[in-house]
Amino acid sequence: MKMPYFLLLLVGLPLGAAIAEVATPLAADPVMEERLKALGQDLRCLVCQNQSLADSNAPLAEDLRQVIREQFRLGKNDDQVRGFLVERYGDFVLYKPPLKGSTLPLWLGPFALLALGLGVLVVLLRKRGHKQPLAPTPDAKAQERARKLLDQDP
Amino acid sequence: MKALRYLIPLAIFAMLVVFLWRGLSLNPREIPSPLIDKPTPGFALPVLGSEQTFRPEELKGQVWLLNVWASWCVSCRQEHPVLVAIGKERVLPVVGLNYKEVRGDGELDPSKIDAATEKALARERASKWLTRHGDPYLLSVLDLDGRVGVDLGVYGVPETFLIDREGRIRYKHIGPLTKEVWSTVFLPQVKKLSP
């Protein structure tokens, strides 16, 4: 009597697949959505430029998310998808700019400024070290007077 | 040496002014396109008011403009007289790329419109708009879902591409085209590209 149940399962399988196809693309593949969300955090929405592609509700962001889903379905990895978008929208879509000639000042600038600041600090500190103290050391007579004043009972 | 004490802060101040001045006058909406000097992405889209499709290769050998527009786009209305003037003077062929005519309109709900209705609605709306505001285009193509727009890196309508005789994008203008931009930026390049 086990046979009919097995057959029923066989009949049911394609039915389930058919239903899945009708479901909204959002619910279709939670793994892909997770991937899209992770990748989208590093991508800039071009319309509302201070929002990531994952967070933005702009129509273009929705279009681009759809495009990314298609790229995922084609088996592209994250770097390839990033490349696909950079080809069309430029490095601007990346929140993390790539290290190359034109972005070198961007990457190295802060370190150069830090080195400059440290250099200035070192020079200033050295100068200060060689300088004479501001107040002259009191002479013997004054020191004697001071000791006497301190020894006196109030 | 004493003068240096005053000159250094002054120099730093001047530098700041230059940086701020430049920063404030830059438009963050104008993102340089990586497509400049690259071949125009291929597409085949239905032509407005006919059953034909158009491919950019068809205009090879000519310098032409590709103008991205939509009837819901307010800035397009603003730039349209400039395009109409260009069309009238027959400076060069202007192809319109109607971008997301139905889906781009925030007042319509695309989830309630099926594909056939969308197509018909887009054609109707686009034609009506061109009848009212003038039609400077050699032809207009319909990019209903905005996918060709993505390939062209479109992110803010209107946008205008200048394409050379080899089919390469030579310049991209973002935002409404003005008379000034046309005569100072586009025309010199058009003249350089034309024989």
Is A46 within 8 Å of B155 when comparing Cβ atoms? Answer: yes
- C-alpha span between B125 and B3 (Å, rounded): 70
- Nearest by CB to B34, which of A60, A64, A86? A86
Both A128 and A54 in one domain: the answer is no
Q: Which amino acid is located at A41 in the chain? A: Q
- ipTM of model: 0.82
Most B-contacting residue of A44, A51, A60 (CB-CB within 10 A), to test interface? A60
Give the CATH number of the domain where residue A65 resides: 1.10.8.640
Say what the pTM is.
Answer: 0.75
Both A89 and A103 in one domain: the answer is no
Q: Which chain B residue has the Cα nearest residue A66?
A: B147
Instruction: Give all domains of chain B, ordered by start, each with its CATH number.
Output: 38-193 (3.40.30.10)
Both A50 and A86 in one domain: the answer is yes
pLDDT single digits (tens) B166-175: 999 999 999 9
Both A89 and A27 in one domain: the answer is yes
Q: What average pLDDT does this structure show over A99-119?
A: 90
Q: Using alpha carbons, select from B149, B166, B29, B158 the residue that is nearest to residue B83.
A: B158
pLDDT single digits (tens) B95-117: 999 999 999 988 888 888 888 99
Is A47 within 8 Å of B152 when comparing Cβ atoms? Answer: no
Both A76 and A117 in one domain: the answer is no
Is A67 within 8 Å of B104 when comparing Cβ atoms? Answer: no
Note down the domain range covering A56: 15-98
Contact B42, B143 (CB under 8 A): no
* Residues of chain A numbered 83-112 and touching chain B (CB < 8 Å): 86-92
**Does some domain include residue A69?**
yes
CB proximity list for B67: less than 8 A, separation 6 or greater:
B83, B94, B95, B96, B97, B137, B158, B159, B160, B161, B177
Quick one: tokens of A132?
A: 């004479």
